[in-house]
Amino acid sequence: MSKVGEYNRENMKDALIKHAEGHIHKHAMNVEVFLKNATGVGEHPDVLESVEKELKIIAEYDDQIEMLKKYF
């Protein structure tokens, strides 16, 4: 196993995957908030549109992870 911060291929891939996973969790929590308490989110009058935006972001990061795993 490589040391954290050591500059190599596997650490770079791992960092990219973990970064994407963190963003997925962040945006998934936003979706959960919208789904569980849509009326309490006043700055987002179009809740469904807001959920769609969050899902698109999640899909983008999920695609990045899949591409890294598949091709690299």
| pLDDT score at 42 | 61
The pLDDT value given to residue 14 = 96
With bands split at pLDDT 50, 70 and 90, how would you rate the model's confidence at 19?
A: very high
Under 8 Å between Cβ of 59 and 8: no
Structure tokens of 49? 């549109």
What is the structure's pLDDT at 2? 62
Which position has the higher pLDDT, 3 or 17? 17
Q: Phi-psi region for residue 35, left (φ > 0), alpha (ψ -120 to 50) or beta? A: alpha
Contact 38, 47 (CB under 8 A): yes
pLDDT in tens, 20-67: 999 999 999 999 999 998 665 666 678 889 999 999 999 999 999 999
Q: Pick from 28, 29, 19: which is nearest to 65 by CA? A: 19
Residue 5 dihedral angles phi and psi, to the nearest 5°: 85, -10
